[in-house]
A and B are shown apart, each in its own frame.
Chain A
Amino acid sequence: MKRKLIIPFIAVSALVLTLSVYFAMNITASKKKSGNAAIENQKEKLCCADLKIDHGKVGDNSIYQLDSKWRDESGKTISLAALKGKKQIMAMIFTSCTYACPLILNDMKKIESQTKSKDVNYLLVSIDPARDTPEVLKSFAERNNLDLNKWRLITGSQNGVSELAAVLGFRYKKEKDGSFSHSNIISVLNENGEIAFQHFGLNQSVQDVLNSLK
């Protein structure tokens, strides 16, 4: 009785095995197809995003060639190229920073108070997009009495932050406690978004920045 059973048993399981291999291969193939489709999509996205940037209008060294999207303190979506036309005094910060960023902000305000030109704007870029929402940036601006006619605070994506940091030579690293180690740089961008001057470090005279604006 038992022996009789074995043959159909093997036959059935062999059939099932064949079928399931076939089935599994189909799944794999369709997965590959959808994977390729995703890559195709990505290619399209990359190609066309690239095309959209009008490289002709800004110089070879302009940071406005970066096509990342940001939101300002009012929640409006902007690209960096939207800052074109005025000089920008800018720094990368995070609003919950307790030591260096208040000092950088202080230096920038010092520069503001000694600059009469109306063609200079001030830009703070958050390196902490997860916590620095437009609302947080807005209340940070209010707390620090920033004149939003001249100041702009923006927050974006990790990717956008890393690209901007990369072109500015700004180094940063997230620590386990959620704070960041980072370099302290105030950059001066000219009207076309090229780096005209960079001021490194804290608690130094800002005269060099003021000179660079002349």
Chain B
Amino acid sequence: MRRISILILVVVVNLPIIGHGKLSDSHEDMALIKGGKYKPLYGANNNSDEVSVSPFYIDRFPVTNKLFLQFVKENPNWRRSNVKKLFADENYLKNWKSDLELGQNVLPDAPVTNVSWFVAKAYCEYYGKRLPTVAEWELVAQASAKQADGSKDPNYIRQILEWYSKPTQKIIPAVGQNEKNIWGVYDMHGLVWEWTSDFFSAMVTGESRGDSGLERNLFCGSGSVGASDFKNYPAFMRFAFRSSLKANYTTNNLGFRCAKDFYQRSNEK
């Protein structure tokens, strides 16, 4: 009887440690997002339009100049003078002083900007991560400091809109200075716009095509018309912004952060 009770005690004492051992991968700089439902602004069918998002990790901060510098040091192909036009346009890392120098107006701890989708993707892959999907990014972005879903909170929406209406600062501030959201993630709003892996799923076309509207003949499928939430103005702005992007496009207020699957998946590549 005593032995049994000792055995039970040993197991009970060990439970949290065993559990901890299983979960403690090195993700200190990433937040675990439980997953959930994300309602896309456009493109889903009728009312059954929610997208389930599986649990995933996301960087707590946008990737900084300092980290990105380390990446280009280790990956000469992605230095400013070596990059191919197909993968990044002429403004790539324009605000840096040179290939491997940030210069005076670029804070090491500020988010890296003037980066293309291709290089953002290559960066994440180099560190065993990936870019977040639109659904994942939006799921994290809708969390306020107190709620997982702040999209119905007028104050939260107003806060985001206030940032959207401000011009980009000449010297972008360091990451992590604003309040973190309920997941412990910083700067989803307020610093820079961010790349997503499937930005090209936004279906409003740019003016370069001569068709700023939604035209049946340009898009196949039933999903293109009909927004789901007319009050969420910031979401419209992000949607419109994404739909104007091209993969080699770089600009001074567009950066990125990486994500990672929670569940191990077989590699698609």
Do chains A and B interact in one complex?
A: yes
Cross-chain contact A181 with B13 (CB below 8 angstroms): no
Cross-chain contact B13 with A20 (CB below 8 angstroms): yes
Give Cα A27 to B243, complex, Å.
Answer: 45
Give Cα A140 to B106, complex, Å.
Answer: 54
**Stretch of A81-89, A115-123, A166-174, A205-213 with 4 or more beta carbons under 8 angstroms from chain B:** A166-174
Total number of A residues with any Cβ neighbor in B under 8 Å: 60
**Stretch of A9-17, A70-78, A131-139, A144-152 with 4 or more beta carbons under 8 angstroms from chain B:** A9-17
Cross-chain contact A182 with B13 (CB below 8 angstroms): no
Q: Which residue of A lies closest to B130 (CB)?
A: A159
CB-CB under 8 A from B223, the residues of chain A are 173, 175, 181
Q: Which residue of B lies closest to A39 (CB)?
A: B128
B27 to chain A, nearest CB (A): 10
**Cβ-neighbour of B200 out of A55, A97, A160, A172 (below 8 A):** A172
Cross-chain contact A9 with B9 (CB below 8 angstroms): yes
Cross-chain contact B218 with A165 (CB below 8 angstroms): no
- A184 CB–B CB distance under 8 Å: yes
Give Cα A47 to B71, complex, Å.
Answer: 12
CB-CB under 8 A from A200, the residues of chain B are 209-211, 218
Q: Which residue of B lies closest to A24 (CB)?
A: B21
Complex interface residues of chain A between 3 and 27 (CB less than 8 A to chain B): 5, 9, 12-13, 16-17, 20-21, 23-24, 27
Cross-chain contact A32 with B219 (CB below 8 angstroms): no
> Known: A24-B17, A169-B246, A171-B201. Contact between A13 and B9, CB under 8 A?
yes
CB-CB under 8 A from A42, the residues of chain B are 125-126, 128
Complex interface residues of chain B between 204 and 221 (CB less than 8 A to chain A): 205, 209-211, 215, 217-221
> Known: A39-B127, A42-B125, A42-B126. Contact between A203 and B86, CB under 8 A?
no
B11 to chain A, nearest CB (A): 10
Give Cα A43 to B48, complex, Å.
Answer: 41
> Known: A16-B10, A173-B223, A176-B48. Contact between A162 and B197, CB under 8 A?
yes
> Known: A171-B205, A172-B201, A175-B44. Contact between A5 and B86, CB under 8 A?
no
Complex interface residues of chain A between 28 and 42 (CB less than 8 A to chain B): 28, 31-32, 35, 38-39, 42
- B14 CB–A CB distance under 8 Å: yes
A40 to chain B, nearest CB (A): 10
Give Cα A200 to B206, complex, Å.
Answer: 12
**Cβ-neighbour of B86 out of A38, A62, A100 (below 8 A):** A62
Cross-chain contact B25 with A31 (CB below 8 angstroms): yes
- B4 CB–A CB distance under 8 Å: no
Cross-chain contact B205 with A183 (CB below 8 angstroms): yes
Give Cα A180 to B75, complex, Å.
Answer: 35
- B118 CB–A CB distance under 8 Å: yes
Give Cα A100 to B200, complex, Å.
Answer: 18
Give Cα A203 to B217, complex, Å.
Answer: 8
Cross-chain contact A60 with B26 (CB below 8 angstroms): no
Q: A residues touching B (Cβ–Cβ < 8 Å)?
A: 5, 9, 12-13, 16-17, 20-21, 23-24, 27-28, 31-32, 35, 38-39, 42-43, 46-47, 50, 55, 60-63, 65, 97, 99-101, 157-160, 162-163, 165-167, 169-173, 175-177, 179-184, 200-204
Other A-B contacts than A167-B86, A172-B201, A202-B217, 19 sampled, CB-CB below 8 A, are A5-B2, A9-B6, A9-B9, A13-B13, A28-B21, A31-B24, A60-B85, A65-B87, A100-B219, A157-B269, A159-B269, A173-B198, A173-B221, A180-B221, A182-B221, A183-B218, A200-B210, A202-B218, A204-B217
7 interchain residue pairs of minimum CB distance:
A181-B221, A100-B220, A166-B247, A173-B201, A24-B21, A60-B85, A202-B217
